[in-house]
Structure 1
Amino acid sequence: MTQKSIMQQTAEFGSDWWNDSNDHLELQHAYKEGAVGATSNPVITLNSVKSHPNIWIPEIDEIIIKNPTASEDEIVWVLIDKVGIKAANILLPVYKNTNGQKGKLSLQVSPKYYRNADAMVEQGKYLASLATNIAVKCPALPAGIMAMEELTAMGVSVNATVSFTVPQAVQVAEAIERGLAKAEKDGINTENITPYITIMVGRIDDHLKRQQKEHNIDFDPDLINWASIAIFKNAYSIFKKKAYKSKLLAAAFRCDLHWKEIVGGDVIISMPYEWWNRFNESGIEVIERINNPVDPEIVRALKEKFVDFNRAYNEDGMTVDEFESFGATIHTMNTFFDGYDEFVKLIRRRMI
């Protein structure tokens, strides 16, 4: 009997895993290994184009020819749609075999809309129309939370991104519950609405490491990697107690803790292709760890040394109005903006 891979074992412990990209070659491999979903954003799509120029540059040139009056931004989104539809099709068998409960591809709204709920709703409705198995990603910021509530009320599955903290996760979950209640009141079948709330585990750790360096905080950098695990596990505990329909999703990996410490929960683990292949070859024992608390001494030290750990860990650590100015938010949004601008420039170079 063939021994099951570590990723296949991960799924057997009840934790679904996704490929953290809609790159078709990666996703086809991930699908064979048991992945039941995938995620994307404009930067991820750009990286796929750069990784496989022989595939995508001819596609870009064809789109430009067929859309002679389109702007660079419009060409970007035509390509994102095309890549997304192809990726969603790879996952369609999972979607059908699970009666719509799994097999979703997350497509992200434009980062430029992060302050405009109406624009996110309109684009979200369009993205959801591209395939039956689409979830729409919006930022867990004030306007994005409003947009996700409204999209949920329309029957659209959403995925919160730009999300690092327990307060964000809880506020989004509450908004989605309101959206689900409205959908049911309006006669919409909510059975196949599968909301996801991401905690970008690596990015909150990155933020605390930047804080450590900036303020010369005396703390072991390796122990900072436990911050995100403590945050995720606290959020998971709250979600179970409050019986939210939304599932937590771990993303933005930096170390093996971000996978192995989450195994066993009714969660999504969204791993970059490089990382899940590395885990598959690691020999790490796959056991349930989601319910193992982080060492209380580590949590105590993090609380003592890092103000922003308290803001991220405690359910009431931040108000909604503070989400946008949080350091990890600013850094991540600037990464999204820079990547999007690079994508537009790549298209422009093909146009002229």
Structure 2
Amino acid sequence: MLSILEQLQQTNPSAEIWWDSSPLDFPRWRASFLEGARDETARGRWAAQLDRFLIPGRPTGSLVRGVTTNPSLVAKSVLAAPDLWAAEIREQIRCQRSPDIEGTFALLYGEAVGRAATAMLPLWEATDGQYGWVSGQLDPRHMFDAERMLDQALRLARRAPNLMVKVPGTLQGYDVVRQLVARGISVNSTLSYTVPQFVSCARAVREGLEQARREGTDTSRWRAVFTHMIGRFGSQGDLPAEAATRGIELSPADVRWAEIAVAKRIHRMIQEDGLPVKMLLSSLETDDPARGMSSLSMHLEQSAGGAIAYTCKPQFIADIMRRDGEFRGFDAHAIDGDVPPAVWEKLMRLPSFHRAITPHGMAPEEFASYGSFVSTYSEVIRNTRRLIDFVAHQLELSPPREDALLVSGSIG
């Protein structure tokens, strides 16, 4: 029996399923999930599906086509195996003449992302760079400093040929996107929620590709994805507050339609323009029947049939597998469907939706003050600080040896 995600992939040969965590974390998560199966029948069915989902050591036989990571996910991965990573940090400390928190953090983060890229490299090589990419996100503390982001991006890109640099959707970030594309470096535009951000990303990609062509830069193994953090757009934005202020009744389904409307418009723009950028949906969510929702996941069901990459959190995969009995199949043309007129009229009265759906509804200088962006940024910074504190604690426990070897204290 095909899994829900396998059925989704079959609605369009260009659809891709990605794993939103390190591939090295998959075996531990798989074992934990199957241990909690409700009965042996479910355990056997789920085990078979997960055996096809991601095969460590043989990614070419997996459903998964790419991997996304970020500081939050790396922090979770490291803190879930503190003994393993503490030993790695101690080794990084030992090899520095003057170890400090920032240098050791950079080495640790680069090592974590590099290991994920190594795990997916066979798929990248087997498909000549079409699949097997691993997104490595830039330090969120520098998302308003183009020079520092570019410096880190170039070092990250040198770690592995299948490392796709994940750049924030800020004014400064799109400048970095342009410069990376011009160098033939693959990019993932993240912390993005709106059509205006996509417009800025598309402009940066075009300009970067034009420069690459002028300079004879090889882009044959170059890829770009634009991440629409679909679930965060509604859950961490301003829609409910704006609706309450205006006396508009906004149901959970209405919020889902708002999230999906942005995805549909971006997908349509990509298809009409022929831009070599694929939309990647992240922060996918299931829907709650207790809140009047009749779907298992509108995010999947209303985007089916699109040339879309879906990056799936472990919890999201667990949720749809546990509820697979509720699933009634996909409409392979759902991505081309419209938002119900009554819902559209309601949403267009909300300022944050109007700004998000209109191609030039915001200037690039405004992206970082958009509600969903602010909420996500705060969370990412908090998780980054947790990882930095873990590194700091290891430094406290492991003072450097006097005869330590001198190596670079940078990501590269």
TM-score (norm 2): 0.80
Moved more, 201-210 or 179-188: 201-210
Match of 2:184 among 132, 151, 155: 155
Match of 1:340 among 372, 384, 390: 384
Displacement after TM superposition at 1:201 (Å): 0.5
C-alpha change, 1:4 and 1:254, in structure 2 (3 Å) is closer
Q: After TM superposition, list the pairs within 5 Å mapping 1:216-255 onto structure 2.
A: 218-255=249-286
Aligned to 1:10: 8
Q: Does 1:97 align with 2:120?
A: no
State the Cα deviation string for residues 192-240 of structure 1 (Å, max 9, x = none): 1101111111111011355358747532234212211011001111111
Q: Does 1:262 align with 2:303?
A: yes
Output the CA distance in 2 between the equivalents of 1:214 and 1:327.
16
Q: Does 1:71 align with 2:100?
A: yes
* Counterpart residue type for residue 264 of structure 2: K
Q: How many pairs were matched up? A: 349
Output the CA distance in 2 between the equivalents of 1:8 and 1:246.
23
Q: Which runs of 5+ in 1 are unaligned?
A: none
Output the CA distance in 2 between the equivalents of 1:259 and 1:143.
32
Aligned to 1:296: 341
Q: Which has the larger radius of gyration?
A: 2
C-alpha contact 2:75 2:387 (8 A) present in aligned 1: yes
* Matched residue SS, 1:162: strand
Q: Report the RMSD for the aligned CA atoms in angstroms.
A: 2.0
State the Cα deviation string for residues 317-338 of structure 1 (Å, max 9, x = none): 1111211221212212111211
Q: After TM superposition, list the pairs within 5 Å mapping 1:50-129 onto structure 2.
A: 50-67=79-96, 69-129=98-158
Output the CA distance in 2 between the equivalents of 1:342 and 1:217.
39
Q: Does 1:278 align with 2:319?
A: yes
Aligned to 1:317: 361
* Matched residue SS, 1:278: helix
C-alpha contact 1:72 1:344 (8 A) present in aligned 2: yes
Q: Which has the higher contact order (CA 8 A, sep 6+)?
A: 2
Aligned to 2:241: 211
Aligned to 2:408: none
TM-score (norm 1): 0.93
C-alpha contact 1:212 1:218 (8 A) present in aligned 2: no
Q: What is the percent sequence identity of the aligned residues?
A: 26
* Matched residue SS, 1:188: coil
Output the CA distance in 2 between the equivalents of 1:24 and 1:230.
34
Displacement after TM superposition at 1:64 (Å): 2.5
